[in-house]
């Protein structure tokens, strides 16, 4: 019997067993996933083979990046058939060709930058329409940094501000304050930042000026908007939930109930992307250590 999830216009059928690995391989924790224009799915995971590429049906194509990534965390497409890959353990953001050739490294491998400087355990990257690279910096920092595609630093913004057990309402936590800026996405003139431990998504313009907050989320880990379907905003949430909102941040569909490895449910959603058919790919960390594909009904 098919497993279906979601509601309303956003209902999905789980594609069980998607992603056939070579014998002896395993995903381990899936930090991120991205789908290219040919519907090839790039799974960025914390194992011996960090970037594993599949076709839409889950057939293995190739892998690359071996030895480069101690802790795979974020991914996005760059210019000229390249991919940016963010590693939260060695403080770097690396550019590779889709064929697996290393192009450039931002940050100094194995070195934490000074407070507020790039990078201290960065988490994700996204490319704007003008080619600028926006990087959330992330676990050891509370900043967003902006680079040109050639690797020149341009500017940054953000400062620490967070809810605590003694301050659960976040009193004094201002716009532009971050507590684990965990993921970043750019769509048209808006920068979306998953402010994970403040349980919100913050929206900025391309210069870092605050626009608004979306607060109907629990520990948001990843935001994705397909430019072909801009009214659909996917938000993965660490605590075992997947949400789909409209362009105003209003949730339209949601599933995930408690930490579990049951098919179609989640332990910890960490990376999300969709393909040309609006199928959704969800990678998991912590006890999850898998990727699931959901075909839109």
Query: Tens place of pLDDT for every residue, the chain, 297 residues?
Result: 899 999 999 999 999 999 999 999 999 999 999 999 999 999 999 999 999 999 999 999 999 999 999 999 999 999 999 999 999 999 999 999 999 999 999 999 999 999 999 999 999 999 999 999 999 999 999 999 999 988 999 999 999 987 655 555 565 688 999 999 999 999 999 999 999 999 999 999 999 999 999 999 999 999 999 999 999 999 999 999 999 999 999 999 999 989 999 999 999 999 999 999 999 999 999 999 999 999 999
41-45 and 51-54 strand pairing: antiparallel
Distances (CA, A) of 234 to 18, 185, 197, 222: 20, 11, 18, 8
Q: CA 264 to CA 213: how far, in whole Å?
A: 29
pLDDT at 173: 80
| Residue 259, domain CATH | 2.120.10.30
Name the nearest CA neighbour of 72 among 104, 128, 120, 27: 27
- Specify which residues 44 forms β-bridges with: 32, 51
pLDDT of residue 170: 62
pLDDT value of residue 196: 97
Q: Is the dihedral of CA 14, 296, 41, 73 positive or negative?
A: negative
| pLDDT score of 69 | 97
Q: At 99, give phi and psi (nearest 5°).
A: -85, -5
Task: Decide: 240 and 285 in contact? Cβ < 8 Å.
Answer: no
What is the tally of structural domains in the chain? Answer: 1
Residue 181's nearest CA partner among 212, 153, 202, 151 is 202
The pLDDT of residue 227 is: 95
Whole-number pLDDT of residue 156: 97
> Cα 54 to chain center, whole Å?
18
How far is the C-alpha of 77 from the C-alpha of 140, rounded, in Å?
24
pLDDT for the residue numbered 257: 86
| Full domain range(s) for residue 93 | 4-296
Q: What pLDDT score was predicted for residue 1?
A: 85
**Rg over CA atoms, the chain:** 18
Rounded to a whole number of angstroms, the distance between the first and last alpha carbons of the chain is 15
Backbone angles phi, psi at 185, to 5 degrees: -145, 145
């Amino acid at each position: 019997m098919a497993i279906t999830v979601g509601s309303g216009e956003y209902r999905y059928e789980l594609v069980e067993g998607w992603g056939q690995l070579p014998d002896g391989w395993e995903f381990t924790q899936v930090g991120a996933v991205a789908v290219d224009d040919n519907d090839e799915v790039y799974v960025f995971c914390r194992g011996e083979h960090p970037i594993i590429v599949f076709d839409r049906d889950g057939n293995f194509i190739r892998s690359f990046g071996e030895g480069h990534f101690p802790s795979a965390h974020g991914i996005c497409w760059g210019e000229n058939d390249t991919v940016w890959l963010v590693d939260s353990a060695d403080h770097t953001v690396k550019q590779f060709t889709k064929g697996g050739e290393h192009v450039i490294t931002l940050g100094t491998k194995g070195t934490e930058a000074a407070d507020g400087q790039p990078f201290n355990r960065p988490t994700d990257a996204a490319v704007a329409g003008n080619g600028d690279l926006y990087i959330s910096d992330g676990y050891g920092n509370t900043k967003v940094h902006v680079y040109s595609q050639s690797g020149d630093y341009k500017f940054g913004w953000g400062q620490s501000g967070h809810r605590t057990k003694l301050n659960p309402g976040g009193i004094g936590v201002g716009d532009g304050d971050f507590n684990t800026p965990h993921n970043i996405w750019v769509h048209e003139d808006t920068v979306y930042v998953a402010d994970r431990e403040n349980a919100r998504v913050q929206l900025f313009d391309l210069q870092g000026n605050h626009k608004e907050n979306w607060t109907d989320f629990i520990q948001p880990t990843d935001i994705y908007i397909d430019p072909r379907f801009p009214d659909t905003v996917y938000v993965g949430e660490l605590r075992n939930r997947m949400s789909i909102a409209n362009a105003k941040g209003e949730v339209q569909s949601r599933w995930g109930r408690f930490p579990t490895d049951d098919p179609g449910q989640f332990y910890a959603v960490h990376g999300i992307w969709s393909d040309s058919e609006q199928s959704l790919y969800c990678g998991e960390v912590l006890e999850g250590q898998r990727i699931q594909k959901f075909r839109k009904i």
